[in-house]
Structure 1
Amino acid sequence: MKIKPFGVEIWMNEFENHCEFNLAETCVASLTVEQLLEMSGKNANVLDDLMPMKLTYGAIEGSDRLRDAICTLYQHQRRDNIVVTHGAIGANALVHETLVEPGDHVISVRPTYQQHYSIPESYGATVDILQLRPENGFLPDLNEFAALIRPETKLVAINNPNNPTGALMDAGYLEKFIEIARSSQAYILCDEVYRGTAQDGDGFSPAIADLYERGISVAGMSKTFSLAGLRLGWIAAGPEIREAVSIHRDYNTISVGMLDDYFAALALESKARILERSHQITRGNLQILDDWVKREPAISYIKPKAGTTALLKYDFDMPSREFCIALLKETGVMFTPGSVLHMEGWLRVGYANSPEILRNGLAKVSGFLRQLNDQGIPAARVEMQVTT
C-alpha cells in the first residue's frame, strides 16, 4: 500500500520544536497533571488509586468507567456503542480500514484532516473531493454534494467543527446533509475532535452518531479537553460498525494504556471545569485574533464559529511555505502553510494557546507584514487559490 505524505504532520514535525510562538498548535492550551488533579478534586488521594494499579493491558475495550463517561457527551449513545482508541487519529484510521475497499466510492470534504482523503485513496477507493469555499462560509455546498453522491457511495467523510476553517454545521444543516447521504445509504464519518468548542452556548454541536443511523462520530481528549498527551480517542457508532471496527482493532490496538484510561475518565467526570477553561480560552482568544485581523490590511478571513484554528488569506504574491519559513526565521512565530492543506495562498493559525503567546505572536506577525510591504512584495494576483 502506498500513501501520500501527510503534509501537515510533516510540517509540524519539522518546525514545531524550533519556534518561540507556536501559532500552529491546534489543541486548547494543554493542561498539566497538577491542573487536572486540581480540577477533579483528586490532588490529595490520586496515589491511593494509582499505587495499587497493576499495569496489565487493562480492559481491552476501555474501562466501563471511561466508556460511561464518554457517553455523557452524547444524547443517544450507550456504553456498548463506544470503541476506545489510540487518539482520534487511531479512530479515524480504524473506520477507514474497516469500511473502505478497492473500488469503493468515497466523498471527503477538503480542507480537512488529510486522513480522510489520503487513506481511502491508498486503499484503492475512488475519492471525490467536496471543496469547502470561503464564499459559502467554508460549509459544504449541498448542491455540489448531491451531484457527487452515487447510489454506490460507501462513505462520506466530514469534519465538524472543521479544521482548519472553524466552520460549523448546525443541526439544521447537518439534517440536510444527512438526507443527501441517506439517499445512497452511505455511512457518514464525522471527525468531531473539536466538538465542544463552539463560540456560544455549551459549545457542543450535534453529533452525527446521534442524528443518523449510519453516522459514525470520532473524537478524543486532545483538542477540547487539552490532554493530547493521553493519546486517547474513541468511536461512537451503532452495533454493526462497533463490531466490525473491533475486529480490525484487535490487530493493531489491543487496549489503550491503563493510565491514559484512568486520567481520561477523571477528566470527563470533571468536564464542566475543563470546558469552562476551554471556552474562556477559545472565546477570549478568538476576539484577540479578530481584532488583529481587522487591523491588518493584508490579512482577511472567515471568522470561525468553533474550533481552535482559522484560515487567513494573505495579500502577498509568495507561496505559503515560503511565507511561513520566512516568518519563523524572522520572528520565531510558527503558522501552518496552506499548501500542506491543499489551500495555497492561505495560512492556518491556531489561536487556542495562552492569550499572552497569541498576543505577542500576532504582534510579531504585524512587524513581519510591515517588512514585506516595505520590501515591495507585490500583492497576490488572484483573490483565492485552491489546490485541487
Structure 2
Amino acid sequence: MKIEPFKVELWMNEHEDKAIYNTGETCVDSISMDELFEIAGLDKQDTLNELTQKRLTYGHIFGNPKFKKGIASLYETIQEEDITTTHGAIGANHLVLYSLVEPEDEVVAVLPTYQQLYSIPASFRATVKQHVLAPENNFLPDLTELKKQVSQKTKVIIINNPNNPSGSLMDREMLTEIVAIAKDANAYILSDETYRGLTQADIESPSIADLYEKGISVSSMSKVWSLAGLRLGWIATKNQEALQQCLLHRDHNTISCGMIDEELAAIALLNKEKLLMRSQKIIRENLKILDEWVAKEPHISYVKPQAGTVTLLYYDFDRSSRELCLDLIDNHGLLFTPGDCFEFENCVRIGYGCRTEELIASLNKFSEYLAKI
C-alpha cells in the first residue's frame, strides 16, 4: 500500500529536538504524574503503591470502564458502550478510516487539517474531494460548496473541529447544517475533535457524535488534557454498525491499550473540570499575548483562532514556508511548522499552548528575525 509521506510528522521528527524556542508543540503544556496526582488531590505514594501491585496483563480489551466512564462524561448522549479506546487520536482516525473506507468509495475532507484524514483514504484508493477552507471565510466550510461536493457516492464527510491548524470552530448551527448534508447522502461524518473544549470564550463546543446518528467523534488525552505521553485516544459513536466494524478491525492492530495508561487517564477525567480550567487559562492568556504581538508586527497577519492551541501566521514577504522555517530552526533555534505541511503557503503554524514565558521568548526571537530581514 502506497501512502503520501506525513509532512508534519516528518518535519517534527527531524527538527523538534533542535528547538531552543519550541512553538511547534500542539499540546497544552504537558503535566507530570506528580502534577496529575496533585491536581487530583491524591496521595502519591498510596496511588503508586496501588498501581505497582497490578499484574501487567492486557487489561480491559475494549477500554478500562473507569476511563470509558470519564470519556462518556465529555458528551451529551454518548454512553460507555458507544466508546472504544485506541492508541491516541492518530490510532482512532486510522482505525475508523481503515474500517469504513474501501476502494472506489468517495470521501469529502476539509483542508487544511491533519494529513492522515485525507492521505489514508487516498491510500485505500478512495476518491478524496478536498473542501478547502479559506482565511477569507475564517477557515469555516462554505456550506453551499460542500453540498455540491457531497454526492450519493459519498461514504464519509471528514471534518476537524476545532480545526488544526487554523483554530476555527464550527458552532452547533453549522454542524447541524453539515449533518443535513450528510443525511441526504446517507454518509458518515468523521469529526476529529482532539482540541474540543479549548475555546477562547465560554461557549459550547458540541460533538458530532451527539448531533448525528452516523456521527463519529475521535479525540485523545493529548491536547486538552496535557497527557500526550499516555498515547491514548478513543472513538465515540452511537452508530453500532460503524462501531462494530471498528472493533472487528481493531482486533488486527490494537487488541488493547496500556492498562497503566488507562488508569492514569481515568484519574485525569475524574478531575476533568480542574484540568480543563488549567488548559483554558493557559491558552486564553497566551492568545492575548500572541494577539498583541501580531498587532505590532507589520509583516504578520492572522485569522484570530476561536479554539485549540494552534493557528496560522501569514507573512507578506517572498519566501516559501519551508525555506523560512528551515532558516528559523537551523540558524535561530526557533521551531514553527511550515504551511506547506498543510498544503498552504506564505504562512507558518504556531502552537501557543506552551508555557507563557516560552511563548514570549519565542515571539521576541521571531521579532528580532523579522526586523533583520
Q: TM-score range by the shorter chain?
A: over 0.9
CA contact (8 A) 1:330 1:368 kept: no
Equivalent in the alignment of 2:20: 20
2-structure distance, mates of 1:15, 1:52:
39
1-structure distance, mates of 2:209, 2:50:
33
Per-residue CA distance 1:119-148 (angstroms, 9 max, x = gap) = 000001000000000111000110110110
Residue 212 (structure 2) pairs with residue 212 (structure 1)? yes
2-structure distance, mates of 1:2, 1:204:
40
Size of the aligned set, in residue pairs, is 371
Residue 258 (structure 2) pairs with residue 226 (structure 1)? no
Per-residue CA distance 1:305-352 (angstroms, 9 max, x = gap) = 000001011011011011011112332110000011100111100000
Q: Secondary structure at the match of 1:89?
A: helix
Q: Secondary structure at the match of 2:68?
A: helix
Q: Secondary structure at the match of 2:5?
A: coil
State the 4+ residue runs in structure 1 displaced beyond 4 angstroms.
none
1-structure distance, mates of 2:220, 2:14:
24
2-structure distance, mates of 1:84, 1:329:
38
Equivalent in the alignment of 2:183: 182
The amino acid across from 1:221 in the alignment is M
Equivalent in the alignment of 2:143: 142
1-structure distance, mates of 2:112, 2:185:
24
1-structure distance, mates of 2:368, 2:330:
13
The amino acid across from 2:9 in the alignment is E
**With structure 1 as the length reference, what TM-score do the two structures score?**
0.94
Q: Show the 5 A alignment for 1:1-388.
A: 1-44=1-44, 45-201=46-202, 204-238=204-238, 239-372=240-373
The amino acid across from 1:95 in the alignment is V
Structure 1 gap ranges (5+): 373-388
2-structure distance, mates of 1:111, 1:242:
27
Per-residue CA distance 1:58-97 (angstroms, 9 max, x = gap) = 0000111111111000000111000100000000000000
CA contact (8 A) 1:160 1:169 kept: yes
2-structure distance, mates of 1:270, 1:293:
35
2-structure distance, mates of 1:216, 1:175:
14
2-structure distance, mates of 1:353, 1:47:
28
The amino acid across from 1:35 in the alignment is E
2-structure distance, mates of 1:164, 1:134:
12
Per-residue CA distance 1:247-270 (angstroms, 9 max, x = gap) = 000000010001111000000001
Gap change, CA 1:93 and 1:158, over 3 Å in 2: same
Q: Secondary structure at the match of 1:329?
A: helix
Deviation for aligned residue 1:43:
2.8
2-structure distance, mates of 1:344, 1:265:
40
Quick one: percent identity of the two aligned structures?
51
Q: Secondary structure at the match of 1:246?
A: helix
The amino acid across from 2:370 in the alignment is L
2-structure distance, mates of 1:310, 1:51:
41
2-structure distance, mates of 1:31, 1:123:
37
- Superposition RMSD on alpha carbons, in Å? 0.8
The amino acid across from 1:12 in the alignment is M
The amino acid across from 2:198 in the alignment is T
Deviation for aligned residue 1:371:
0.9
Deviation for aligned residue 1:213:
0.7
1-structure distance, mates of 2:47, 2:212:
39
CA contact (8 A) 1:197 1:204 kept: no
1-structure distance, mates of 2:51, 2:214:
39
The amino acid across from 1:77 in the alignment is I
2-structure distance, mates of 1:181, 1:77:
20
1-structure distance, mates of 2:358, 2:226:
16
2-structure distance, mates of 1:250, 1:42:
35
Q: Secondary structure at the match of 2:185?
A: coil
Per-residue CA distance 1:139-196 (angstroms, 9 max, x = gap) = 0110110110101110011000000000000001111111111110110000000001
2-structure distance, mates of 1:240, 1:76:
17
Equivalent in the alignment of 1:375: none
2-structure distance, mates of 1:237, 1:189:
10
1-structure distance, mates of 2:76, 2:296:
42
1-structure distance, mates of 2:319, 2:100:
40
**With structure 2 as the length reference, what TM-score do the two structures score?**
0.98
Per-residue CA distance 1:259-307 (angstroms, 9 max, x = gap) = 1110000000011111111011000000010000000000000000000
The amino acid across from 1:268 in the alignment is L
Q: Secondary structure at the match of 1:183?
A: helix
Deviation for aligned residue 1:204:
4.7
1-structure distance, mates of 2:64, 2:228:
19
CA contact (8 A) 1:20 1:333 kept: yes
